[in-house]
Amino acid sequence: MNNFWNNIARYPRFFISSFIGLLLIILTPFKNLFKKRNLRIFIIGFFFISVGILYKTIIIMTGS
């Protein structure tokens, strides 16, 4: 029975390590893009414009 609980205790650690690995795989191309100055400015600007549009859309949808 002790072996069973040891196996169950491993699942959260496996999930966390898999999730961190997935994030690193997804973010690596963006790290390479940030090395070029023009692309860095474009990506940062695109991010802020996207957040602004999302914010305005949610405000309009909720009627606030």
pLDDT 10s digits, 7-37: 888 899 999 999 999 999 998 988 888 888 8
Distances 41 to 9, 47, 49 between C-alpha atoms, Å: 44, 10, 12
Residues belonging to the chain: 64
pTM of the predicted protein model: 0.52
Q: Which of 43, 46, 45 is nearest to 32 (CA)?
A: 43
Q: What is the Cα–Cα distance from 40 to 59, expressed in whole angstroms?
A: 29
Work out the percent of the chain whose per-residue pLDDT is above 70: 100
Given this model, what pLDDT does residue 7 score?
83
